[in-house]
Structure 1
Amino acid sequence: MAHLLFRLRNVTDEEAVEVRQLLDEQGFDVYETQAGFFRLGVDAIWLRNSAQRGAAEAALAAYQKNRQANARQEHEEAVARGDAPTLWRRLIANPFQVTLVMVAVVLIALLTLLPFMGLAR
């Protein structure tokens, strides 16, 4: 019976290609499904042979651990260089967008708290 191995929703193209290459190089029998036009299905990579499940999950876990370590190292290097994204850098780069987000947050907070402010009287 097929086993859901890796969901492709919200995964970058780069990561999806790397996962496909990893599974292909290690000889796992997999296939992909698409969610379809109405997004009722699942974008995923499935394992056909359930006997390979443990090895496939271990290979993916090792890959994801390595990818996480690389991302963390890149972020630490960006912080050390002073290139890491911060609120102020985003405000300078996109002042209109950041201002709109802040206004939206304040409006949502006011709308949420408005009924309770009326009860305090």
Structure 2
Amino acid sequence: MAKLLLNLRNVPDDEADDVRAMLDANRIAFYETQPSRWGISHGGIWLNDADDHPKARTLMDGYQAERRERARADREREQREGTAERFVDVVRRDPLRVLLSGLAIALLLGLMALPAWLLRG
């Protein structure tokens, strides 16, 4: 029976490609499901045989640990060099999105506080 190895929700293309290559290199049979039309399912990488899951999971754990360390090293390097993205950079690049996000947060906080304000009397 098939077993899900990786849900492709928010997975970058390079990571999915690395996982496919890792499975191919270790001769683990897999198939992919495509994302649904309305975004309910984002697709996934499935193992054909559930018996391969322990081996594939061990490989995935090693890959993800390596990727995590590489990402942390890249982030530390960017911070040292001063090229890391900061909040100010996001505001300069997309001020409308930041403004609308701030307004949405304020509206939600106001809606959450409304019952307490109405019941204080």
Q: Same fold (TM over 0.5)?
A: yes
Change (3 A) 1:17 1:98: same
How far off is 1:54 after superposition? 1.4
3-state secondary structure, aligned to 1:32: strand
Distance 1:14 1:102, change over 3 A: same
Other-structure match for 1:70: 70
Q: Could you list the structure 1 runs, at least 4 aligned residues long, displaced by more than 4 angstroms after superposition.
A: 38-42
Task: Report whether the alignment pairs 1:114 with 2:114.
Answer: yes
How far off its partner does 1:5 sit? 1.4
1:37-88 Cα shifts (integer Å, max 9, x gaps): 3556661111122332211111111111111111111111111122222222
User: Helix, strand or coil: the match of 1:22?
Assistant: helix
Give the TM-score normalised by structure 2. Answer: 0.86
Distance 1:34 1:96, change over 3 A: closer
Alpha-carbon distance in structure 1 between the residues aligned to 2:49 and 2:30: 8
Sequence identity (%): 33
Alignment of 1:1-121 (within 5 A): 1-38=1-38, 43-121=43-121
Cα distance in structure 2, aligned partners of 1:110 and 1:97: 20
TM-score scaled by structure 1? 0.86
**Any stretches of 5+ residues in structure 1 without a counterpart?**
none
Q: Distance in 2 between matches of 1:95 and 1:8?
A: 30
Aligned residue pairs, count: 121
Is the alpha carbon distance of 1:57 and 1:106 closer, same or farther for their aligned partners in structure 2, counting shifts above 3 Å?
A: same
What is the CA distance between 1:3 and its match in structure 2? 1.4
Of residues 28-37 and 38-47 in structure 1, the stretch that sits farther from structure 2 once superposed is 38-47
Cα distance in 1, alignment partners of residues 2 and 42 from structure 2: 14
